[in-house]
Amino acid sequence: MKPVRAKQAKMKKLIFIRHGKAEDQVADISDFERSLTLRGKSQSGLMAKLLRSHEKGLGMMITSPAFRAIETALIFGKEFGLSPDVMQISSDLYFNLEPGAYISFFSSRSEDTDTITLFGHNFLISEMAAFFAMDETEVLPKSGILCLTFEVESWSSLKKSSGRTEYFLTPKSHL
Structural domains of the chain sorted by starting position, each given as residue range(s) with its CATH number in brackets: 12-23+41-174 (3.40.50.1240)
- pLDDT-derived band at 96 (thresholds 50, 70, 90) equals confident
Please write the tens of the pLDDT for every residue from 44-67.
999 999 999 999 999 999 999 999
Alpha carbons within 13 A on the beta-carbon side of 172? 6
Residues written for the chain: 175
pLDDT at 141 over 60: yes
pTM: 0.93
Asked whether the predicted pLDDT for residue 143 surpasses 60, the reply is yes
Pair 72, 36: CB distance under 8 Å = yes
Nearest Cα to Cα of residue 21 among 5, 38, 8: 38
pLDDT per residue as tens digits for the range 18-37: 999 999 988 888 999 999 99
Is the Cα dihedral 107, 72, 59, 49 positive or negative? negative
Amino acid at 76: F
The pLDDT score that the predictor gives to residue 27 is 86
